[in-house]
Structure 1
């Protein structure tokens, strides 16, 4: 498969730290897949995402996007954060089109992209609403659409659904999977929820405390499973992942 992201001997130690948060990680993300990343709190999941995004610089090693070293943030990689980071002084359409405005796209093209995304996230009737009037799930839909408006090559989710109730989270999962399928996208999803990692991931990257093997990537036979239909084999699979984390 074609690699879109290559992580090579990635090590990152925060200033003043005595131990690396990320220690010699090596893995790839394939174009068109959803890779979910799971691990204990504090294991470096968000640090990894921020390094791939270009917000943090490795102590050694490198991350490549389509064969080129990532040295700074760019529109080619979109990020959806847990707190959505939307601008309350802008309405829904303006939030989605914000990045395109910053890149000096003409108004007509911005409107076309924004209107299409509003249809895809099922918020066309909220186009002129301000962020404060939206529910948590709606805000995350807007944040996803804003990340997609630039038509990035990779979209990353940093525990983006953890603050949502179960019903809303399941609804957002469907939106994410529908967008991934219809737009032929590549996603990296960081999560602390094993069921979410299994449901959303074509493959699952497990960040482990094992220094000799700090990340293990496994294929996922339960991608897009209806969690109401789990069986004993699913429970065994989930427990195998859990044992590697702890």
Structure 2
């Protein structure tokens, strides 16, 4: 399946990714073609082993495709770029640095003056609701607060793209819902192109304007489902008939796929 859109910021072109496993070749992705538009919020879901994280890592420049390529704003990805912020499930905060210093870290690497770093860091800490905890150490934060710090750090270097791989997967249900709402509020204020990998169908529908469903063995795009719910998204939307319909549609696509390759074509 090929999914193209106008003004693509991220473009996967016939992406194939193979890995060696116990002396055998394992195909993680086979012929993935997908466009993500500038400023779009896309979620990617699918069964275990469908290559969701592999796609994201290729877009982040963290691995070299076996064949095909990923293009960002008409430039082929050949390695990590400051234009792209990556957020994983593990927060990877520096435990010896305060929240503010963690957010400033990327700016310090760019040799930005301390006063300017402070202004930018404080802006994004305010955006994610961590101003009161700017001088705290990571060990003093809850899991949700640590993830908000990671998001602020990614935003601070002003990336055009955010790649997020199960960023809320380790959080409890209530914190996860709060973080989803916080992320959308931040995205609305500081619009970025977002590719968000998740295994949670409710999360995929609530966040995105478009859900990409992957099929496994080998990983490929199975279906595109548009989410016609207006932004800003509210908690009450989760209880609506339209949300239930979309959730059921995504669930059906994820968990009731035909086994045969190409059955969706």
> Normalized against structure 1, the TM-score is what?
0.94
Residues 1-246 of structure 1 aligned to structure 2 (within 5 Å): 1-16=6-21, 17-209=24-216, 214-222=221-229, 224=233, 226=235, 229-246=238-255
1:22–1:44 CA contact under 8 A, matched in 2: yes
Q: Shift in Å at residue 33 of structure 1?
A: 1.1
Q: Deviations over 1:109-168 (max 9, x none)?
A: 211110101111111111111101100010000000011111001001110001111211
SS of the residue corresponding to residue 89 of structure 1 reads coil
Pair 1:112–1:202, CA change in 2 (3 A): same
| Greater mean deviation of Cα atoms: 217-226 or 5-14 | 217-226
Judging changes above 3 Å, is the alpha-carbon distance between structure 1 residues 211 and 158 closer, same or farther for their aligned structure 2 residues?
Answer: closer
Instruction: Give CA deviations for 1:3-34 in whole Å, capped at 9, x if unaligned.
Output: 11111000000134423101100001111110
Distance of aligned partners of 1:185 and 1:57 in 2 relative to their CA distance in 1, 3 Å threshold: same
Deviations 1:80-106 (A, max 9, x none): 111111110111011101111112112
Give the gaps of 5 or more residues in structure 2. 1-5, 256-265
Shift of 1:228: 6.5
Q: Match of 2:27, SS?
A: coil
Task: State the SS of the aligned residue for 2:179.
Answer: helix
> Does the Cα contact within 8 Å between 1:209 and 1:245 map onto a contact in 2?
no
TM-score, normalising length from structure 2?
0.87
Residues 52 and 26 (structure 1 numbering): CA distance in 2 closer, same or farther, change over 3 Å? same
Q: Would you say the 8 A contact 1:40–1:192 is kept in 2?
A: yes
CA distance in 2, matches of 1:22, 1:170: 30
Structure 1 segments, 4+ long, off by >4 Å, are 210-213
- CA RMSD, 1 decimal: 1.8
**How far apart are the structure 1 equivalents of 2:86 and 2:223?**
23
Structure 1: runs of 5 or more not aligned: none
Q: Is the 8 A contact 1:35 1:202 kept in 2?
A: yes
Moved more, 105-114 or 60-69: 105-114
- In 2, Cα distance between equivalents of 1:82 and 1:229: 24
- Shift of the 53–105 alpha-carbon distance from structure 1 to 2, 3 Å rule, reads same
Q: Distance in 1 between matches of 2:93 and 2:16?
A: 31
